[in-house]
Amino acid sequence: MGEDLISWMNAHPGLVRAAGVASVFTFVGSLVLLPLLVARLPADYFARDEAPAGARAHPVLRAALGLGRNLLGGLLVLAGLAMLVLPGQGLLTLLAGLVLSDFPGKRRLELRLVRRPAVLRALNWMRRRAGRPALLPAAPSVTRE
């Protein structure tokens, strides 16, 4: 198995180089972009029953902004998934991508991630460094019988 991988890497040096460059860019990008996004969240974002509604704007502008947010969110989700095995802040980048994106079940997934004490601690550390108040913890999940 190891020899097959090495021979494949030797046969595709351009692809290996591109993957290395992409890894460096996602790592550095997450170090720069992620704290900015986390600092912009309202302190009660995860404590609310629902995520805040979008601002009222012209429908074309709202659609263009929504598309841009979903593209950026998708890129952050992919980078976060990659950083689960590569160097970087995988869970935090994944969470930032989820916060930016719109999809069914988004809120439940966000709350599941932010209920992890280590994730909430890391988010609040970034907010403290930006001079922002700590995020309020997410309400415990309620199971329906």
| Phi (first) and psi of residue 59, to 5 degrees | -55, -40
Q: Pinpoint the alpha helices (H) of 12-140.
A: 13-40, 59-83, 90-100, 106-114, 117-129
pTM value is: 0.60
Closest among 136, 130, 119 to 39, alpha carbons compared: 130
What is the predicted pLDDT for the residue at 143?
A: 44
For the chain, which residues score pLDDT lower than 70? 1-2, 50-56, 141-145
Distance, CA of 93 to CA of 84 (rounded, Å)? 10
What's at 94, amino acid-wise?
Answer: L
Residues contacting 37, CB < 8 A, separation 6+: 96, 99, 100
Angle between helices 90-100 and 13-40 (to 10 degrees): 70
What is the predicted pLDDT for the residue at 79?
A: 84
Distance, CA of 92 to CA of 140 (rounded, Å)? 20
Distance, CA of 22 to CA of 42 (rounded, Å)? 31
Domain ranges of the chain: 2-129
